[in-house]
Structure 1
Amino acid sequence: MSLPGGIRTTLAVALLLIVGGALGGAYLMVVPSLERRLVDDRVDELQRDALSTAYSYARTDFSDPLSLDAFVDATSLLSNARTIVFQVFGPSPISLRTLADSAGGAGSASDDPVALEAARTTQITRGRVERRGRPFGQVAVQLFPSGNVLLLSTPIEDQLATVRVVKRRLLYATGVALAIAAILGSAAATLHARRIRRLERAADRIAKGRFDEPVVDLGDDELGELAATFERMRVQLAQLDTARKEFVANASHELRTPLFSLAGFLELMADEDLDEETRAGFLATTREQVERLTKLAADLLDLSRMDAGRLRVEQEEVVLADAVRALVDELTPLAESTGHVLVLETDPEAWALADEERVLQIGRALAGNALAHTPPGTEIRIAAARSQGRAELTVSDDGPGIPREHAERIFDRFYRVEGPHASGSGLGLAIARELAERMGGTVELASARGRTTFTLSLPATPVVTGELAVST
């Protein structure tokens, strides 16, 4: 069972975190740097005014005490900042006394940190201080030749107010962006969650063996590709399931027919009134049914081993001429009993890399198919040859041929061509092709009216003649 919310909640939260993180990073990068920039710009202006004032101070005669007050007031108006001139006492500890102040308060002592630092270091000093809860930007510079200290101080509330406006707007924008992200993220996540749930239901149907409903997803993303893969899997499993059901049904039918026949003949043979000739005929027919069952059981065992990957196929040098000769010797009595003519053709250079027993099994299936499906008097030619670097065993006949609609399915399991000469279980050719493929070969059919040819093509080996190995 999935957790509440599932992927929808996960994707929505992930999108919120991404958007929130991006805006939070933008806030941390923009706001502090903006505040520093605005404050520094104002303090830079104060520094320029302080240097200009110090230059003017050095060239002004302050023999009249009122002239210093007038100088301070004029500087304050020009710089738009509070202007103070301190007298320095020291050297240790250094203390300051106000000589002139554009805001009043002349003669008072001062502990302003920026002015004290300028007095100690004799360098231009910048700083930011708070007085009565208000922020100020300050610049202090030493005055020559008197050694006094000039301090310019201005409120920076306007700059900080600008920063606060930017902060508020960023926060509003963040809130709106998060709300939009939550809505869009939830919608996108819901859509993806629905698609994933559809795939989950499809997988559950397939797991339960229901292959009738297709897996459909029109997206062109990864989920769409996954759905297409699921659909291919469904089709293949449906084909396998159909083949399995057909296999079970056909196998049951093929087993049931000879068993019923055996049961009937055994019941008839139990009759004491049967004459010996009839009893012998029943025994012969019963023996044929037993042989049919034995062959069917062997075929089914081979198929099960091939499907399970447990069928062993040897790789050895096989002289196809010897194999064909043994095959003809084996089938000659059957051919004579059915009125067929067997013709043998051999090529001593036809050596194959294969399993000799399996080659004979394939040859029996091909020749047996020709004997069973052609009328008496048909000539069946069994040949071994070497062609284009391959070793070939061919079985051809001059019978009526195989119709095209049957030729395409003749290698399917349990498939039989119905007709006056149809017989067998329909497994021989299917097993022949699979055995050939396991030996690195093929079984091909070429059929036309008056000529049908099955060709087993196998990897060829060098021809050995005495001490010589000749490769063609």
Structure 2
Amino acid sequence: MTRRLRVRTLRTRVSLLALAVITAWLLILATGLSLVLVSRLNQQVNDGLRVRAQAASATVVVRAGQPVGVGESATDSELDSSIWVYRGGTAIARPPVAAALQRVADALAGTPAHFADRHGRRFYVLPLLTHGRQVGSIVAAADLDPYERTRDTALIGVGIVAVLMLAGAYPVLRFATGRALRPVGEMTRQAAEWGVVAPDERFGGDQRYVELASLAKSLDGLLGRLAAVLRHERHASAELSHELRTPLSRVAAQVELLMDNASAAQRQELQEIRTNCAAMDGIIDTLLAAARTELTGVVGRASVDAVLRSFAAPTGRPRTVVESEPLLVEVDDDLVVRMLAPVVENARRYAARTITMTARRRGTVVEIDVANDGPRLPHDLAERVFEPGFSARDGGHDGVGLGLALARRLARSADGDLVVDESSEHTVFRLTLPAG
């Protein structure tokens, strides 16, 4: 199956379209020039043959109404080179030529005036008339080879000129198209920049080119809607943070007061409540961070080695070992920490002795693996552990079941992903992020 050529840039497409139009016009001009040239050469050959035949007819000696010979003249050498004089069908003067040409001339003798091409020659028949009656013929011949060489040379020259013009036109067309599209590229760059850092900026209607006014109007409308969304997101985030954190703070404060006079058993329960409040507060921070990342698209940068070493615990059980080279990712370091925290916490629940954290670069991404030497995660749970609310009661880990789900959402909002590496013999969570 033939695959169509894919043109990926508007600059190339416009340049090729303009080049195709120029090529079509050059073909039309070359064809017209060829037709005119061939017509002029044919006319030149015909005129030359007529002149020579008429000059030869002036030297023919006619007696008693019949041509009997050719008189002497200063141009006899020219006339004899390719001129035949016939009385009826009998040649009374003929040049020394090949037998094939002689046969052609004999066949043309006595016919009305006309042209005929034979054996690379053009023949012209001029009747000799006496009192309105044809008594003989003049047959003149011309070699067509010089004219054909002239025609071929001219056509080759036209072809070379056309190819040179097209070869020189394409770079000029690309340059001109690039210059013409430069304002569009600049507006695109500004729109992308303003959409992140200055959504209140506008292009306005006073564009240098009329054709860009409509584009500027559309981009201004888009920036306006984006600014409204960002304002709403900031307002909603602030309200959400206040509305959720206020009751959590009250619960935490009441727990602190109750713990002073509580029994040992009650203290344990209250401590669990306080821990859950802290976890809920962290979940709120993670949700707000994910929302800001998805809406604003602000790109940060983090050192993977530094983030991983913040989780390192070379002593204790389980111990955490970091194996990483200096790498950067295009994500804020606090977001990377929030992505890894639930993964590391999950590994600590199930590791027997060691948690190993490794990082490596694969093309345009950085892969961060968190492995533990505990029981291997069953294949049927490799995706379920990322479902919100999945917990130990469903065969998963202890907890409320939001940590891994939020970690994956954060990773995907940063153009990455969080998955379980099912090809490993241990439980390995793999976080993929764009390399910086």
* Greater radius of gyration (CA): 1
What TM-score, normalized to structure 2?
0.42
